[in-house]
Amino acid sequence: GDSVTQMEGPVTLSEEAFLTINCTYTATGYPSLFWYVQYPGEGLQLLLKATKADDKGSNKGFEATYRKETTSFHLEKGSVQVSDSAVYFCALSRGNKLVFGAGTILRVKS
């Protein structure tokens, strides 16, 4: 069945460091891919998405490119801030259902 694998955390970075959180997926066909973020005490929020191969999703300085050949959707940000500390979930959609990765905790130190 469909599945999503994310790098294990926590990931701890200093402010202004470069961020990469790896995400790979297994699915039949070409699902849409998403990154969700969960800030402490809040619900999940859609961060960015891509609906087809080679699409790049971007939001708030974060980017991810839908790579069909490597079945990946890695999340990147050039310069993280303390306010980016949160849990990040990679997900794919099958119809209107979402399949999530385990989540990666990001901690940014000032």
Partner 1 sequence: GAVVSQHPSRVICKSGTSVKIECRSLDFQATTMFWYRQFPKQSLMLMATSNEGSKATYEQGVEKDKFLINHASLTLSTLTVTSAHPEDSSFYICSAIGGNTEAFFGQGTRLTVV
Q: How far is the CB of 84 from partner 1 (least distance, A)?
A: 18
Residue 31 binds partner 1, judged by CB under 8 A: no
In the DSSP assignment, the letter for residue 83 is G
Distances (CA, A) of 37 to 57, 68, 90: 14, 23, 9
Given the rule CB under 8 A, which of 19-27, 36-44, 54-62, 68-76 is the region that contacts partner 1? 36-44
Q: What is the DSSP string of 6-71?
A: E--S-EEEETT--EEE-EEEE-SS--EEEEEEE-TTS-EEEEEEE-STT-EEEETTEEEE-BTTTT
Contact flags string 51-80 toward partner 1, x per CB under 8 A: ------------------------------
* Residue from 4, 50, 75, 106 in contact with partner 1 (CB under 8 A): 4
Alpha-carbon gap, residue 89 to 45, rounded angstroms: 10
Residue selected from 16, 46, 54, 82 as contacting partner 1 according to rule CB under 8 A: 46
Which residues of this chain interact with partner 1, rule CB under 8 A?
A: 4, 36, 41-46, 89, 96-103
